[in-house]
Amino acid sequence: MFDLELLTGILLIIILMFLSAFFAAIESSFFSLDYLKIKRLKNKGNKTAGLVEKIRSNPKSLVITFLIGNELVNITASAVMSKVVIDKFGAEYLFIGVLIMTVLILTFGEISPKTIGSYYPEKYAFFAVRPFYVFYIAVTPFRFIFMKFSEYILKKLGLELPIESHKLSVEDILSIITVGAEKHIFTYEEKEFIEATLQLHQTHVSEIMTPRRDIFALPVGLTILEALDRLKDTEFSRIPVYKENLDNIVGILYVKDIILAKLEGKNDSIDNYIKKCIFIPEFTNLLKLLKRFEKERIHLAIVIDEYGTVVGLITLQDILEYIVGELPEENDNGDFYIKQIDNLTWEVSGKLDVETLQEEIGILLPEDYDFDTVAGFILYILQRLPEEDEEIVYKNFKLKIKKMDRNRVIAVIIKKLEKENQEANQEVNNA
C-alpha cells in the first residue's frame, strides 16, 4: 500500500541533503578561491566576481552564515529521519536512524561536496553565489543575534575577542607576492619592485646614501664661470655648497640656475643662487624621507649623524634606484641626444636636460619649473603619463611622443609651429 507519509519524509530528507551539500560545497569553494584572480575579474567588469568579493569581504559574517545554513538543514534532516523511524519502526530503532543519518550527512552533506568545492572553487562559487546571497541577506537578523550572543558569552567567560582588523601586515603581503610570482601572476621584476616598495619603511638612508668621501660639493664665493668650470666633468644637477668645510653646508646649488644666468650674460657669485637644503638623521627610513621629498618638492637631503656631522648625501634618484634598480646616468652614451630633422623639427631623447632643450631649440620654459628632463617637461604639461603618438601643443611648439617604454618617455618629436599652424592649434585647443 502506498505510504504517503514515508515517501514525504524520504523526499524531504533528500532535499535537505542537497541543501547540506550546497552549503558545504560553497563554503569549501569560497575559502579555496584565488582572490587575486577574482579581483582582476571584478576589475574587468565581471559582476559575479564582484558579488563573490563583496560577500568574502566580511569573513566573520560569512562563516556564521555557513554555520546557520549547515546546522539548520542537518538538524532538520536528523529530526525528519527520527520521526520517520519512530513512526514506522518504533523508538527502539532510533539508533539505526541516527547511524544512517550520520553516514548520509558525512558522505553526501560534508565530505563529497567539500571535495568538489575545493577542486573547482571558481566554477562552483560562481554557480552558487547568487542563491547563497539570497540566503545570506535573509538570515541577517539571525546572524546579528548569534554574533552578539556569542560575543556576550565569550565576554562573560573572560574571552573577549580583540577588535577585528582587516589590515594585512607587510609580511602577509610579501607572502602573497611570493605566491603570485610562483604562479606567474607577477614577473620577477614586478615582485622585486613591490618588495622593495613595501620595505621602504624598514630601510635607513644610511644604507643607500652617497658616503661623505664621495660627495661632490662647491665652496661659497665662487663665480658662475668658476663653478661651471668645476662642474664640466660631472653629471650632477644639484650640488651642495659649503662654507669652510663639509660640516657647514649652507645650501644646494641648482646647476640649471647658473646655466640660465650664464646665458643671460651674468657672472656673479653662486651665493646668489643657493637654495635651502634639508638635514636628516642617518637612521631616517626611506618612506619617511620620500614623503618629505614629495611634501617639500625637493630632491636632495644631507645626512648627519647624532653629533651633527655630515656623513652622506641622498637623492630622490637613490630611492628610486633602490625600488626599481639602477637607473641610467645622465652621461650614458646615446641616451641624451638631440637630432635636427629639418629647419623646424627635432627628435630629442626623453632624458635630454631641459636647459639644452631651451638653448638649442628655443622653447621657453615656465619660470617656476621643477623638472630636469624632456620627460619631466611633458609630465609637467599633462599632469599624467603620456601615450605613444600623443601630440601636445605648448606655446609655439608641437610635441609628439614618438616612443614610450612602459612608464618612460623614450623619444619625442618637437616641431616649431609656423604662425598659421599655431593659430589653428590654439583654436582647436580652445574648442
Q: What is the pLDDT along the chain (431 residues), one digit of tens a residue?
A: 457 778 888 899 999 999 999 999 999 998 888 777 788 788 888 889 889 888 888 888 888 899 999 999 999 999 999 988 888 888 888 888 889 989 999 998 889 999 998 899 889 999 999 999 999 999 999 988 988 888 888 888 877 655 444 455 556 666 666 766 666 665 666 666 677 777 788 889 998 999 998 899 999 999 999 999 998 878 788 999 999 999 999 999 999 899 999 988 999 999 999 999 999 999 999 989 988 888 888 889 999 998 889 999 999 888 887 876 654 444 444 456 788 888 889 999 888 888 888 888 888 888 777 778 898 889 888 888 888 889 999 989 999 999 887 778 889 999 998 765 555 454 434 44
Angle at 207 between CA 201 and CA 212, to 5 degrees: 135
pLDDT attached to residue 176: 63
Q: How far is CA 21 from CA 70, 79, 122, in A?
A: 9, 18, 17
Distance CA 341, CA 345 (A): 5
pLDDT attached to residue 430: 45
pLDDT attached to residue 390: 92
pLDDT attached to residue 399: 94
Does the predicted TM-score (pTM) go above 0.75?
Answer: no
Q: How far is CA 304 from CA 201, 249, 300, 342, in A?
A: 19, 11, 13, 51
Q: How far is CA 324 from CA 4, 167, 188, 317, 387, in A?
A: 74, 26, 12, 10, 21
Question: Domains of the chain (ranges plus CATH)?
Answer: 4-156 (no CATH), 170-198 (no CATH), 204-324 (3.10.580.10), 338-430 (3.30.465.10)
Q: Give the DSSP letter of residue 368.
A: T
pLDDT attached to residue 274: 94
pLDDT attached to residue 171: 63
pLDDT attached to residue 332: 47
Task: Report whether 226 contacts 220 (CB < 8 A).
Answer: no
pLDDT attached to residue 31: 83
Distance CA 8, CA 420 (A): 89
Spatial CA neighbour of 417 closest among 348, 360, 344, 357: 344
Distance CA 309, CA 288 (A): 21
pLDDT attached to residue 186: 59
pLDDT attached to residue 248: 94
Q: Could you identify the residue written with the cell 617604454?
A: 405
Strands 345-349 and 408-416: antiparallel
Counted residue by residue, the chain has a size of 431
3-class SS of residue 246 = strand
Distance CA 293, CA 289 (A): 6
| Partners of 64 in beta bridges | none
Q: How far is CA 418 from CA 320, 344, 348, 391, in A?
A: 40, 9, 20, 16
